[in-house]
Structure 1
Amino acid sequence: MNRTETVSWHEANQRSLMAELAVLRRVLERRAAQATDDVPFDEASADSEQEAIRMAQEVLPAPAALDRLCATFGLSPFERALLLLCAGMELDAAWGAKCAAAQGDPRRTYPTFSLALAALPEPHWSALNPSAPLRRWRLIEVGAGETLLTSPLRIDERILHDLAGVSHLDERLVGLVDEVLTEEQDELAPSHQTLAGRLAGIWSQASRATALPVVQLCGRDPAAKRMIAATACASLRWRLYRLSAHLIPLSPSELDAMQRLWLREAALTGSALLLECDDTEPADAARDRMATRLIESIEGPLVVAVRERRRAGSRSTISLDVPAPGTAERRTLWARALGSAGASLNGRMEALVSQFSVNVQAIHAACAEAQTPRAAGPSENVADVQAIELASRLWDACRRQARPRLDELAQQIEPSATWEDLVLPDLQRRRLRDMAIHVRQRGKVYEDWGFAAKGARGLGISALFAGASGTGKTMAAEVLANELRLDLYRIDLSQVVSKYIGETEKNLRRVFDAADEGGAILLFDEADALFGKRSEVKDSHDRYANIEVSYLLQRMEAYRGLAILTTNMKSALDQAFLRRIRFIVQFPFPDPEQRAEIWRRVFPQGAPTEGLDEAKLAKLNVAGGHIRNIAVNAAFLAAEAGEPIRMRHLLDAARGEYAKLEKPLTETEIGGWA
């Protein structure tokens, strides 16, 4: 081979490995010659093979895989030769025959400890110890045999591939851990970039002194924690793999096997592990114990992603809080993602920044989703139309990106009602419009004008809608959602409230956390069951019931969006609770004039009507919700009869509605109808 020849590391590593095996093949031949005295040993050939090893190593641009592996696991010269002896079985078809000849037994066509102790240089018995590197790190496997010395030995497949220069994840870890890869668009918020730098610094300092500490990343955004850990690893030229706590084996033996395989993999590839415990529940005691055991036993770089800090064990632990990007950071991230298109929004980007607390990935996804422009009309300014359309598409894309997953605890309501559909006194309408103003201008007042810096308490926008059933409380929530173009979720309290201690708080946490990113409007309908007066503590159940209410108050005060509570009995609510509600809107029972207005608006433009008298209809002493029921039922009766909606259809529908309410329909209410 030409000494000046330039070869790749893989080619040079292959040459080096083959040269090493050629020397070991000669050792086996010498052992066979000594056993039979039939085969002369060629010393000249041995010298040429040593020269081949030296020449192959000269052109290696980096250490050979065998040298790197031996240094990583601290193998002695004898253990190194024994590992090569096992590798030869997989790489040389004639190796089995040479092993049999060297052992003087044609049946033993495989390496054994007996052969290694007899043939290899510098033998030592301790290499057979289960705690020694070869067996501890499962570099070789001991097959079934009569004795340990005569049992067949086989190199582990993952180690064989590594010696050949082919790195891949051990197949026994596939499905348990997967690599976290970073993309160019996966930029970090400045505060998260700082945390990544701190994490890399912690590892760098500890690796030069003592054992690496466990690092906890605490926060609510799993993607952000993942990217912080990946960025820190990339700066140190490490790989990062993640493991969900849900996949941790619950059997101690299986956990030990997985842990040992991972530690070997981390050593081979220079990798850190991210253990994601974000979704684990405290009630899952068995899994929590196994997670603790894994954390205590992982010796290499380990990051634990949690919502809230875990209790530290015997191992040194450092906790870093990962907050959501602040308003200024989100503004910067949006500007980077939009590029030149951001300048055309003419200030409309501030509404996105203020309303949606989305992460970097969601921002890029929203920008990608909003790239299709609408063509401007002949009389429209193209630039203005494109800016308005882009802002609108970005808003809708953010709603979809931040849409909470609340299927089990809430029902999404598609808001269709507008201010025109809402019949209320002027005072109540003004209060509702004030609520919309607070939501829209929250970012300017809290962040730009500095009110948030005075304290986070009380920044949540909460409202109580009180009034009899059917007076328009849910419709008002729909109107606000329509006005603000936000998602509206009605919370199913039967799914939230639990008799089990701690479950109600857990469900409330899921509701608020899921909705917080997009600032959705939460409607706790008929909230008396959960938000009643806090009782005197007579037993443990009373104490925990009060804790549930206190937790709710705390979350409402911190919630970024609008939380609306509705009740039919305002008097049933705790006064301390009411003091912490920003808006209280009393929905009065409609008077005759208001009922007449509701009747005028209840029928769609496409519905055929004939001879309807709103003044007579307003005599029905029912609220707006019941008026709508009567109108819809009358429409069905008219449709079946093939007629327009008339007073007699409404009379029949009113009788049915009153029967449902178990309320008599008086002559005063329906006199002169038909």
Structure 2
Amino acid sequence: MTDSPTPASDVPSPRRRAGDPASAVVARLAVLRTRITALVERRRAGDPTAADPLRGLYLSDEAIRHHLRRPGDGDPPPLADDGSPEPTEGPSPAGEPPRADDRLPRLAQRLGLTELDTAALLIALAPDLDRGFEPLYGYLNDDVSRRRATIGLVLDVCGLPATHAAARDRFHPTAPLSALGLLIVEEPERPFLSRSLRAPDRLAAHLLGDEAPDAALDGHLRPLPASPAAADAGDGGPLAHRLAEHLDAAPLTVYLREHREGEGLLCAATALRAAGYGALHYTPVPVGHTDGHEPGGEGGAGHGDHAAHAAERHGAAPHGPVRELLREARLRGCGIVVSELPGRPGPLIRALSVRDVPVLFTGARPYDPQWSDRDPLVLDVERLPSGGVEVWSAALGIDPADDPGFDLAATVAPYRIGGERIHRAARSALALAALEGTPLAAGHLKRAARQLSASGLEQHARRIRPAVGWDDLVLPDEPLDQLRELARRARHRDRVLGEWRLSAGGGRGHGVLALFAGESGTGKTLSAEVVAADLGLDLYVVQLSSIVDKYVGETEKNLERIFTEADRTDAVLLFDEADAVFGKRSEVKDSHDRYANMESAYLLQRLEAFDGIALLTTNLRANIDDAFTRRLDLVVDFPFPDAGQRLALWRRILVHVPCEEGIDPGSCAREFELAGGSIRSAVVTAAYAAADRGEPVTGADLLAGARREYRKAGRLVLDEVSW
């Protein structure tokens, strides 16, 4: 690209000027006015009706005789091979020599326009830029009401005969001026030479230095990461730089399939910038609208499909103002990045498959050859590594050698984000710290990063914002060490499985999978919440009732939606009572067994390709299929607490409860064999009794609560047990 591209961050942008393009247009109009004036004087010299104030409103006998005597305006100058006029007396309508801030010749060079094309644009634009041209055009058109340029007027000004085939062809609908959206030939019912010419307002604004995008694109254009810091932060991967080399040679239409949201946009922005292009980030469906599909949906024809097909049949641009988008890209010398594709993107891909503008589509769906017969170049975006400490330090404005007051590396390790998302998270974290009036802390970073990972998982899972820590766990050393190992695996999986290439291969993902096995109330769900809190992630508890369906294949579809959403979200996924869907496969005796085994086979395959963090809990480990166990990274057994652990649980749960002085739950811990969940329920029962009296919790309250939990479990309560 020879022209300076418009930065992607300027879309949409405030109005700004580079140099003074408007003065260059004014200079060209002055030259054109000289040419028009000479043509008007030439016409007036032999026109007996020139002084008639009603000329152009009616035809007098004298005017008719004049037209009968005048077959033409004289012999035109000779023509060049391409239909452009050879040099004549006086300057050409386009004006010369071009100035450095003159955008018209640069636009003509970039789009391959001829001198006649350039002159036609300027002649058509003149009345929109200078009202003084209107009466002159009315006179030359022999109709005071027709104050715009016509095809015949352009040919007259350029000294071309009306019968020149090459010149007439420049106004054909398939010629560059019309095809590129730069010139509109109106009134097709009129004779060819009398048809009015109109240049879009956006073209006039661009030539004057106005970079505000076309109003038709309002709601469709969004900013892309464009600052050098944002680009260097994510780098875009080797693919972006290889793609840039090809874009530098010739524009391409590319489909970038991304594994994680944002990777395709970063790759596209990096490639366009490296190739010397600006970028227009286009979303076919404006903010707050829908095309009739669920996000990411692939199947079935919906309302959006019928609308797209109807638009195509009637010649309308499918899925938004595509014509205006292409014109904007051509005016600025930009590439186009399209994200959030509609359910059926075929019409959009066909409409944007042009040879002079690079167009990069991004999406998570695999490319379907049925979408379009104009296949783009299909590329898979590499998994981009998460941003390192240096990137986060730069985004936060911290010197990597300085101590921010917390472990920055450990804080940001669980988040698989890069590029502009790191800068967005950093800005949000700094804003949170400023709002609270405190120095930046790990908690601010975690909250900001979680905000960027807000997902659609809440449709199928219950969201838990972890508010616990390692001190809330009362477990033996072995399961506690395994839980800490689980957190370490989640933090460093990209390095170990990706950079160090220790993945098992075969399309396996970089996910972390663990099974928590133990009796009810032994702390499995609480442990999952503690791990999520340590990683700074939200915990999503999958509601099995919302995914298990009696219809064949529906359960797998529901699970696929959950896994797909979890893959693109930084969160911990918890399948409580997992043996309901991860149970053992059985011998096939009827169709029910066969379909149940199909569900298990699907889950086995999907878990291997999973990239997130998934935890399974079960009360009966023996119910889990051995094939699932083999694919797990960790199996953590939660033993029933002994007397010492039960006492620690009683004391831990009573920390924030107002109790009478000298209370000691040791008797309850020794005499009642309760798991942690039951102990918490006993304390809650005691607390309600004390709150009703308006007094602190007593030993008798704790004893009553423990006895109730024993009875709930169907166990014998000994009367001699007392406080």
Q: So what's the TM-score if we normalise by structure 1?
A: 0.77
Give the conservation status (yes or no) of the 8 Å contact 1:32–1:102: no
1:468, 1:589 within 8 Å by CA — same for their partners in 2? yes
SS in 1 for 2:502: helix
Q: 2: distance between equivalents of 1:145 and 1:461?
A: 66
Alpha-carbon distance in 2 for matches of 1:425, 1:178 = 53
Kept in 2, the 8 Å contact 1:620–1:669? The answer is no
Instruction: For structure 1, list consecutive stretches of 5 or more residues without a partner in the other structure.
Output: 1-6, 42-48, 375-385
Instruction: State yes or no: 1:506 paired with 2:561.
Output: yes
SS in structure 2 at match of 1:172: helix
Alignment match, 1:641:
693
**Equivalence for 2:182:** 139
| Cα distance change on mapping 1:239 and 1:35 into 2, 3 Å | farther
Matches within 5 A, 1:274-313: 274-277=337-340, 284=343, 287-296=344-353, 300-307=357-364, 309-311=366-368
SS in 1 for 2:99: coil
Deviations 1:622-671 (A, max 9, x none): 43212211211221211211233235434654676577x4x5574x3444
**Structure 1 counterpart SS, 2:276:** coil
8 Å Cα contact 2:254/2:376 also seen in 1? yes
1:254 maps to what in 2?
316
| Mean Cα deviation higher: 630-639 or 494-503 | 494-503
Pair 1:31-2:43 in alignment:
yes
From 74, 88, 92, the counterpart of 2:126: 88
Contact 2:252 2:355 in 1 (8 A): no
1:93 partner SS: coil
Over the aligned positions, Cα root-mean-square deviation in angstroms equals 4.4
The CA deviation at 1:15 is 0.6
User: Aligned to 1:97, which of 135, 155, 161?
Assistant: 135
2:415 aligned residue: 356
2:580 to 513, 517, 529: 529
- Aligned positions of 1:166-181 closer than 5 A: 166-178=210-222, 180=224
Alpha-carbon separation, structure 2, partners of 1:154 and 1:52: 23
Given that 2:234 and 2:418 are in contact with CA atoms closer than 8 Å, whether structure 1 keeps it comes out as: no
1-structure distance, mates of 2:493, 2:252 = 41
463-472 or 96-105, larger mean C-alpha shift: 96-105
How far did 1:189 drift?
A: 5.0
Please give the alpha-carbon distance, in whole angstroms, between the structure 2 residues aligned to 1:90 and 1:54: 16
| C-alpha distance in structure 2 between counterparts of 1:336 and 1:176, whole Å | 31
**Alpha-carbon distance in structure 1 between the residues aligned to 2:139 and 2:106:** 29
Name 2:377's counterpart in structure 1: 318
2:281 is matched with 242
Partner of 1:129: 172
Aligned partners of 1:17 and 1:66 also within 8 Å: no
Aligned in 2, Cα 1:502/1:636: closer, same or farther, shift over 3 Å? closer
Letter of the 1:87 counterpart: L
Q: Deviations over 1:214-248 (max 9, x none)?
A: 22333235544334433433344322111124458
Q: 1:147 to 1:85 in 2, by over 3 A?
A: same
Q: Which residue identity is paired with 1:239?
A: G
Closer/same/farther in 2, CA of residues 260 and 368 from structure 1, 3 Å limit: closer
SS, match of residue 514 in structure 1: coil
* Superposed displacement of residue 131, structure 1: 2.6
Shift of 1:359: 0.7
Partners of 2:242 and 2:127 lie apart in 1 by: 47
Work out the CA distance in 1 between the residues paired with 2:189 and 2:93: 40
Q: Name the amino acid aligned to 2:377.
A: I
Equivalent positions of 1:101-250 (< 5 A) are: 101-113=139-151, 121-122=159-160, 123=162, 124=164, 125-127=168-170, 129-143=172-186, 147-149=190-192, 150=194, 152-164=196-208, 166-178=210-222, 180=224, 182-188=226-232, 192=236, 194-205=238-249, 207=250, 212-247=251-286, 250=308
- The CA deviation at 1:599 is 3.2
**What SS is found at the alignment partner of 1:511?**
helix
Deviation at 1:274, TM superposition (A): 0.8
Give, in whole Å, the separation in 2 of the partners of 1:494 and 1:594.
Answer: 34
Question: Greater relative contact order: 1 or 2 (C-alpha under 8 angstroms, separation 6 or more)?
Answer: 2
Following the alignment from structure 1 to structure 2, what is the Cα–Cα distance between the partners of residues 13 and 276? 36
Q: How does 1:388-427 map to 2 (within 5 A)?
A: 392=442, 396=446, 399-400=449-450, 403-405=453-455, 406-418=457-469, 421-425=472-476, 427=478
2: CA distance, partners of 1:127 / 1:564: 67
**How far apart, in 2, do the equivalents of 1:84 and 1:395 lie?**
55
Q: What residue in structure 2 maps to residue 548 of structure 1? A: 602
**Residue 269 of structure 1, aligned match among 332, 336, 342:** 332
More helix, by proportion: 1
Q: How far apart are residue 485 of structure 1 and its match?
A: 5.6
Partner of 1:341: 399
What is the aligned-residue identity percentage?
28
Residue 463 of structure 1: aligned partner: 514
Query: Equivalent residue of 1:188, what SS?
Result: helix
Matching residue's letter, 1:642: G
